[in-house]
Amino acid sequence: MNLDFPDTTLSVAGITEYIQVLLEENPILRQVWVTGEVSSANQHRSGLFFTLQDTNGTAAIKCVAWNSQVAKLAQLPVPGEQIIILGSIRVYPQRGEYQLTVWQALPAGVGLQALRYQQLRNRLLAEGLFDPQRKRSLPLHPQTIAVVTSPTAAAWGDIQRTLKQRYPGLHVLFSPATVQGEQAPDSIVKAIARVERDGRAEVLILSRGGGAVEELACFNDERVVRAVAECSIPVITGIGHQRDESLTDLVADVCVHTPTAAAETVVPALAELYTQHQQRVAALHEAVLYSQTMAVHRLQTLRNRLRNLRLDRQVRQELQNLTWHRQHLLQVTIARSQHAQQHLEMLRQKLATLDPKAVLQRGYAVVRQENGAIARVANQLTIGEELLIQLAQGEVTVKVIEVKTSELPKRRGRKKVND
């Protein structure tokens, strides 16, 4: 029997190649997330081969994580565990099979939440949001506080009752928020923003009652954590009764485990303040009394010392010493004054003997030339030169008509002068 084959007939390689192009070039299958349960796993030299199937066993897919990628997996595939796989579809023509090449494996369900929690915690820790140095102290006596919680939760009632008992008259600003479910993070962030816009509160309480882990998941949301970290006033958290702290607890300035504890921490009790005041008054009274007793004792000690020192006797002795020093100083001063007067008289007499006027009084005269110089040598004078003769009383102007020097033979003569 003769059969006519159509022109579209494909070889095994051709149809396999066609399927390979369809699968490997598909934009969804080139990077796909798949969740399932590991049914088997085998470690080979080239990598880790395992099978991922639905929990009901209706479908399965073969997977491989090459050795270069195994160390980067957040969760190693273990038979019986639920995981989430990120990978791409690859076709193997020789076997006519396809499998999932694995890039990353994450724990599913609660495990995935724990991984996300740890990753976010590590990132915020690296940013320094949990550093103790950035924690702020709560005000000692706040007059206005803000509370962010659900209006229908028991936490709001516990906080109101505690604040009223401990600090009557406190101004409380309530900013309602949803504290459970998918809408909770955005609602909490908006409630904190309302408090900051109002600007009156000095401290903020973020609180809710106890609950399951999934009910408190909003307090591990990055939006809520950053809103608390960036809040302009101190934040105290009282979230549930769980022993494990949320990321919001870690970033808050103060963290307690219940709404009631938060209210007790944020304000002091007036009764305790009154007791502390009474204790301070008593301590102050004792301190004053002690100081007074010590002052009296010190005063009496000084009195006794003064009595023993006989201060009046010492004063008389010092007066005698002062009188003696005064007399001695007076004697020294008089002696020095007399010596100075004698020295002054001697200088006055010596000056009198050197006074030119005294010489003139004895009949001598001073002869000055026209230029005012004193004439001392006759041969320095010229015939006809006018001279000024200073006498004891008055002056005389004369003219030289003859000059005699000591070198000429001595002979009697006379010097003629004209008035």
In a domain, 351, yes or no: no
Query: How many Cα neighbours within 13 Å face the side chain of 58?
Result: 1
Residue 139 has a pLDDT of 92
Residues 89 and 176 in one domain: no
243 and 172 belong to one structural domain: yes
User: What one-character-per-residue DSSP string does 300-334 give?
Assistant: HHHHHHHHHHTHHHHHHHHHHHHHHHHHHHHHHHH
166 and 250 share one domain:
yes
Checking if the pLDDT of 240 tops 80, the result is no
Residues 46 and 157 in one domain: no
Q: Report whether 260 contacts 159 (CB < 8 A).
A: yes
Rg (CA), the chain: 60
Q: For position 198, what pLDDT does the model report?
A: 94
From 248, 268, 288, give the residue that closes a domain: 268
Residue 376 included in any domain = yes
> 196 with 233: CB under 8 angstroms?
yes
* Distance separating alpha carbons of residues 90 and 49, to the nearest angstrom: 14
Angle at 177 between CA 173 and CA 181, to 5 degrees: 160
Sheet strands (E) in 118-269: 144-149, 171-176, 203-208, 235-239, 254-256
Residue 110 has a pLDDT of 59
Res 3: pLDDT: 54
Residue 270 backbone dihedrals phi, psi, to 5 degrees: -60, -35
Confidence of residue 416 (pLDDT cuts 50, 70, 90): very low
Q: What's the CATH code of the domain at 83?
A: 2.40.50.140
Q: What is the pLDDT of residue 50?
A: 93
What pLDDT was estimated at residue 407? Answer: 56
What residues contact 246, with CB distance under 8 A and at least 6 apart?
A: 216, 219, 220, 237, 239
H or E stretch at 66: strand 60-66
Higher pLDDT, 275 or 157: 157
Mean pLDDT of 43-72: 90
Last residue of a domain, one of 108, 124, 145: 108
User: Is residue 132 a part of any domain in this protein?
Assistant: no
**By mean pLDDT, which of 128-132, 289-293, 324-328, 393-397 is the weakest?**
393-397
What is the mean pLDDT of the segment spanning 346-370?
75
142 and 262 share a domain? yes
CA 412 – CA 16 distance, rounded (Å): 172
Which CATH number goes with the domain that contains 199?
Answer: 3.40.50.11400
Average pLDDT of the residues in 206-233: 87
**124: nearest Cα among 228, 251, 232, 244:** 251
pLDDT value, residue 10? 78
Q: How many domains does the chain divide into?
A: 3
Last residue of one domain, picked from the residues 87, 108, 129 = 108
pLDDT at residue 119, rounded to an integer:
81
- The predicted pLDDT at position 412 comes to 47
Say whether both 55 and 152 belong to one domain.
no
pLDDT band for position 230 (cuts 50, 70, 90): very high
In terms of residue numbers, what domain contains 196? Answer: 137-268
Structure tokens at 329: 């100083």
Q: Which residues pair with 98 in a beta bridge?
A: 91
The answer to whether residues 101 and 160 belong to one domain is: no
Smallest Cα–Cα separation from 238: which of 210, 274, 275, 268?
210
pLDDT at 406: 65
pTM surpassing 0.95? no
Instruction: Classify residue 340: in a domain, yes or no.
Output: no
Q: What is the pLDDT, as a whole number, of residue 223?
A: 94
Query: Is residue 291 assigned to a domain?
Result: no
Indicate if 146 and 264 belong to the same structural domain: yes
Residue-level pLDDT at 241: 62
Query: Residue 379 in contact with residue 405, Cβ under 8 Å?
Result: yes
Are 103 and 144 contained in the same domain? no
The pLDDT confidence band at residue 169, using thresholds 50, 70 and 90, is confident
Q: Is residue 332 part of a domain?
A: no
What is the tens place of the pLDDT at every residue in 279-320? 888 899 999 999 999 999 999 888 887 777 666 777 788 888
- Which helix (H) or strand (E) is 32 found in, with range? strand 32-43
Which DSSP symbol is given to 214? G
Model confidence pLDDT, tens digit, residues 9-22: 778 888 888 888 88
Same domain, 178 and 93: no
**Same domain for 259 and 160?**
yes
- The reply to whether 344 falls in a domain is no
**pLDDT tens across 96-136, in order?**
889 999 999 888 765 566 667 778 888 999 999 999 999 99
Asked if 162 contacts 265 with a C-beta cutoff of 8 angstroms, the reply is no
Calculate the average pLDDT of the chain: 84
If asked whether residues 57 and 141 sit together in one domain, one would say: no
- Reply yes or no on whether the pLDDT at 408 is more than 60: no
Does 67 fall in a domain? yes
Q: CA–CA separation, 381 vs 386, rounded Å?
A: 9
